Structure 1
Amino acid sequence: MGSIVAETLSDRRFGIGYDQLVLIEESDVAHARLVFFNSDGSPSATCGNATRCLGRYFMDQENVPMVQLETDGGILDCHDAGNGWSRVNMGIPLLDWHEIPLAEEMNTLELPIEGNPCAVGMGNPHCVFFVGNAEAVDLADIGPRIEHHPLFPKRTNVEFVSIRSQSEIRVRIWERGAGITLASGSGTCAAVIASIRRGLTSSKVEVQADGGCLNIEWSDDGVLMTGPTSHVFNGTLSREFQENILAS
């Protein structure tokens, strides 16, 4: 049922419109459990930006500086970073081929695909390409071809990265199950991890995505993602709309 609801509500003409739907459930080990669905109805183990936003929501509701949120990708700590910003520890990145996962054993630093991308797992798979000009990449053409490449048995998110300096990168993102997206928390983290592994940046990086900036740091404790959050609206689905979904 979650998949049907997610796909129906994601329609920007007949639903609400979004890249991902997050369902909030009770948790025995954290403040709440988050369940993610992509706009095509497929499930996702984690979503960094949604976790950061929901972390802010729970911190504001309970007037606390930190919350823990359970996801299929693990329990994530979310902290108040001040001035409306929140910081999420996205956990330890997965770098072995079977953890990401890939279809066969190989060096994840350089995949045998044109462009020699890097593979990173952040609770979901990512394929990171380094390009001279991210703006020139045809995401609509290349993105779906890489997402469905046989090397990725669970499909993959795709990032195209241009290095601006040791502390700044530009990234554009094709999200698995959603398509072209303005931002992705886990994708941004994966882009930085790949950049560090290639020796292209330092461990603290400002990332400019189409939707804005995030600050990413890879430390011994995990990958720290810091960025702004803001409350947009509250809404209620009408009974008629709910009945139409159930009848579809």
Structure 2
Amino acid sequence: MIEFSKYQGLGNDFILIDNRHQNTPVITPEQAVKMCDRHLGIGADGVIFALPGDEETDYTMRIFNADGSEPEMCGNGIRCLAKFIADLEQKHNVGHSYQIRTLGGIITPQLEAQGQVKVDMGVPTYQAQAIPTTLGTPEAEVINQPLVVADQTWSVTCVNMGNPHCVTFVEDVEKIPLAILGPQFEHHPAFPERINTEFIQVIRPDYLKMRVWERGAGMTLACGTGACAAVVAGVLTGMSESVCTVELPGGPLAIAWSSETGHIYMTGPAELVFKGNNLWK
């Protein structure tokens, strides 16, 4: 029997497991797929494990997507993990932060008032080899590069936020057939490790509207790293300001890219939905 907690951040939902007693996840990717099934399991976009930290960190984050794949990190997920840890420790002090190791580097979430969590997402990179992508030369920045998908040429900007993103700006995100285009972007030969894809509509330079297709999870209500990537791409292409509200189907995120430190900060909610026991292992 495995105890779990279900959390959500703007509708991006996760199964959280207390894995602090060992350094490897207590379930397999195949078991995670069953748990994430919305009809036959608990239902979630992924399973997140709170593992022990090391000499540099308080905790380690691992995550299995709904399809069993393992991403480097997850923006909405790390906010949910911070709230989960705060609940485990019974420490909810505003301003308290954690150093969390992810496969994408060390990330620092901080508890804020009114159920918000502010996350220092680190410094974005946008060279082709960092994505990775075959667009351009390995050292070149992938900004406004042409990409043919579904017999249409899209102007894309690629950003690594600890995980890979392909951002394209469109006139109306609601007219994008996301269920059709999303898989074609995700599995495009230009992205050997697959890709998260964001379609962005500029409402104002400080307000972006976004729809996302997540690698390994599909169409989700929110993506924190994707919102960060959208603002980075907006600044690089002159489409947006460095401090933006990003409106996702599940709600808004506050994103700020510091010109002084190069770090990008994401602030948004995370909340407990319910707790339970998974009787089958």
| Fold in common (TM above 0.5) | yes
Shift of 1:58: 2.3
Distance across 1 between alignment mates of 2:163 and 2:269: 23
Matches within 5 A, 1:230-245: 230-238=271-279, 241-242=280-281
Q: Provide the rounded CA distance (Å) in 1 between the counterparts of 2:161 and 2:239.
A: 20
Equivalence map 1:216-235=2 (5 Å): 216-219=255-258, 220-235=261-276
Alignment partner of 1:161 out of 200, 213, 217: 200
Paired position in structure 1 for 2:97: 66
Equivalence for 1:151 = 190
Question: Aligned runs of 1:55-134 on 2, under 5 Å?
Answer: 55-60=82-87, 61-64=90-93, 65-103=96-134, 105=137, 106-113=140-147, 114-134=153-173
How far residue 107 of structure 1 moved from its aligned partner, in angstroms, is 4.1
Q: Secondary structure at the match of 2:129?
A: coil
Residue 119 (structure 1) shift = 0.6
What's 2:236 paired with? Answer: 197
Structure with a larger share of its residues in strand: 2
Deviation at 1:221, TM superposition (A): 4.6
Q: 1:26 aligns with which of 40, 52, 55?
A: 52
Matched residue type, 1:112: P
Q: For the Cα contact (< 8 Å) 2:45–2:65, is it kept in 1? A: yes
Identity %: 38
Please tell me whether residue 178 in structure 1 is matched to residue 217 in structure 2.
Answer: yes
State how many pairs are aligned.
240
TM-score with structure 2 setting the length: 0.82
Q: 1:205, 1:217 within 8 Å by CA — same for their partners in 2?
A: yes
CA contact 1:59–1:66 (8 Å) conserved in 2: no
| Larger RCO of the pair (alpha carbons < 8 Å, separation 6+) | 2
Correspondence for 1:48: 75
C-alpha contact 2:79 2:119 (8 A) present in aligned 1: yes
- Unpaired stretches in structure 1, ≥5 consecutive residues: 243-248
2:157–2:233: 8 Å Cα contact kept in structure 1? yes
Bigger drift between 164-173 and 57-66 goes to 57-66
Q: What SS does the aligned partner of 1:70 have?
A: strand
Q: Where does residue 10 of structure 2 map in the other structure?
A: none
Q: Distance between the aligned counterparts of 2:127 and 2:275, measured in 1?
A: 41
Cα shift readout 1:167-214 (whole Å, capped 9, x = no counterpart) = 100000000011111101111111111111111111100010001110
1:245 alignment counterpart: none
Residues in 1 aligned to 2:227 and 2:38: alpha-carbon distance in whole angstroms: 25
Q: Which residue of 1 aligns with 2:30?
A: 4
